[in-house]
Structure 1
Amino acid sequence: MRAVPLLSMTGTTVHHMDAFVEMTGTGVASAPPDVVVLDTAVRTPGGSVAEALSRADTAMTAIVGIARERGLAPADLQTTSASVYPQYDREGVSVSGYIAQQSIRLRIRERDLVGPLITAFSESVGNALAIDNISLQIDDVSPLLTQARRLAFEDANAKARQFAELASRELGPVLYVVDSPSPGGGLHAGGAPKREMMMASASADMPVEMGENSIRCQVTVRWAWA
């Protein structure tokens, strides 16, 4: 809480200053995620760069084809990286071959599709398949953000009214509102039940527990005294 005196005097000059009370409020809104983000890759060996790249191209083409057959839209498929690097012998001196890698991010909007997709990928490309990460997201966070901001303003308002009552004062009009960065804010996993990803096996039975994601907002509000 910040308060400024109504008047301050320097010598014979009287400076009229606005008096105010300022509070920061925090709001948290939660909702179940509706998108499973699957980061997957293919890693293929070859005796030459061209051979390794060709095998990676073939494997990734198969993965993209399976994803599209299962209903994923082109906008939900995004290549994230591609690389090729040498392999060395046990002494680390001579090049014994090359490894090519291609990575892709899939945004899966039906959680029950995750297990069957991974199974289909593994059956198609075998040990070339790598699952790098699975995360859960909310496609449109706008409603959550609106709710979190409202709760943050209500929190700041409640604090200001409490201190106004303690000071035997009345709140006047709002002078300004600032949407402040929240430490550790933004979208994160939380709520009850907690988000869990059970990846014991790449099978159609792999459970995906969605849990809840939360978004945190802070607002700083300044009121004049009435």
Structure 2
Amino acid sequence: MMRMLILVALAAALPLAPAGAQSIAPTILADGTILDVIATGETTRVPDLATIRAGVVTQAPTAAAALAENARRMSSVLAALKKAGVLPRDMMTTAATLSPQYRYADNQPPAITGYQATNMVSIRFRDVAASGPVLDVLVAQGANQIEGPTLSLAQPDAAMDDARTDAVKRARERAMLYARAADLTVSRIVSISEAGDQSTAPEPMMYARAKDASASTTIVPGESRVTATLSVRFLLK
């Protein structure tokens, strides 16, 4: 009787499993051979967006004079962009600075000789071919600093999906190659994971300046190479 009471007391002291608790079962591996394949798929697209940074840099003896001249010339640049059909949503100011200019001499403190004002705007062209002639217009209206163009895709996700599809196709073809060599067959895909080095970087483009005033700058877009890298695990039997 004493032994039964002890057992009952021990049972009461033990914590009960909460309702709905799930038991953890060991993972059971499938009867087969696991094959991991890393494949890179690709596709190409012609860039349909061009982004150019253009602006005005002016210098004057005083800060007010530098800003005033800069504002005057920048107004002409913005008016030229509007006249060329560039929408307000495709223009964005990226820099507006004013800085003193110094003269340095031995054993003397720096002396301010004037001021430099800079105003830069980023311009997005939805017609790549139209960006070249607009550059010439900007220079004619006072722009003296131009960077670009940077070419990109308006719909990169669609191109990336094509590259992913190609990567899966390449991975399956490689798995079938290994399976044949090992006298096995591809049963199914166990898992797919995407690497973090997907790329939609454009190939180098041509940017040709006009040789005379009657010709215009030409932008040649070329092709963008879009890649996607996947890690695919196959089950071979």
TM-score norm. by structure 2 comes to 0.78
Pair 1:96-2:113 in alignment: yes
CA distance 1:157–1:201, shift in 2 (3 Å):
same
CA distance 1:202–1:222, shift in 2 (3 Å):
farther
Structure 1: distance between partners of 2:148 and 2:221: 15
Any conservation in 1 of the 2:47–2:202 contact (CA below 8 Å)? no
Gapped regions of structure 1 (runs ≥ 5): 1-14
As a proportion of its length, which structure holds more strand?
A: 1
Matches within 5 A, 1:118-197: 118-125=135-142, 129-182=144-197, 185-190=198-203, 195-197=205-207
Structure 1: distance between partners of 2:147 and 2:216: 19
Matches within 5 A, 1:107-122: 107-122=124-139
Paired position in structure 1 for 2:21: none
Gapped regions of structure 2 (runs ≥ 5): 1-26
Structure 1: distance between partners of 2:135 and 2:235: 59
Paired position in structure 2 for 1:17: 29
Deviates more, 1:61-70 or 1:197-206: 197-206
Instruction: Report the Cα offset of residue 208 of structure 1.
Output: 1.2
Instruction: Name the SS of the counterpart of 2:201 in structure 1.
Output: strand
Deviations 1:197-221 (Å, cap 9, x if unpaired)?
2235596521211110111110111
Structure 1: distance between partners of 2:59 and 2:80: 22
Pair 1:87-2:98 in alignment: no
Pair 1:54-2:59 in alignment: no
Structure 2: distance between partners of 1:178 and 1:131: 41
Instruction: Report the Cα offset of residue 16 of structure 1.
Output: 4.9
Structure 1: distance between partners of 2:201 and 2:183: 40
Structure 1: distance between partners of 2:228 and 2:168: 9
Structure 1: distance between partners of 2:35 and 2:62: 71
Instruction: Report the Cα offset of residue 57 of structure 1.
Output: 2.3
Instruction: Name the SS of the counterpart of 2:140 in structure 1.
Output: helix
Q: CA RMSD in A?
A: 2.3
Pair 1:215-2:226 in alignment: yes
Matched letter for residue 209 of structure 2: M
Instruction: Report the Cα offset of residue 60 of structure 1.
Output: 2.1
Any conservation in 2 of the 1:41–1:132 contact (CA below 8 Å)? no
Structure 2: distance between partners of 1:160 and 1:197: 43
TM-score norm. by structure 1 comes to 0.82
Matches within 5 A, 1:35-54: 35-54=49-68
Matched letter for residue 205 of structure 1: S
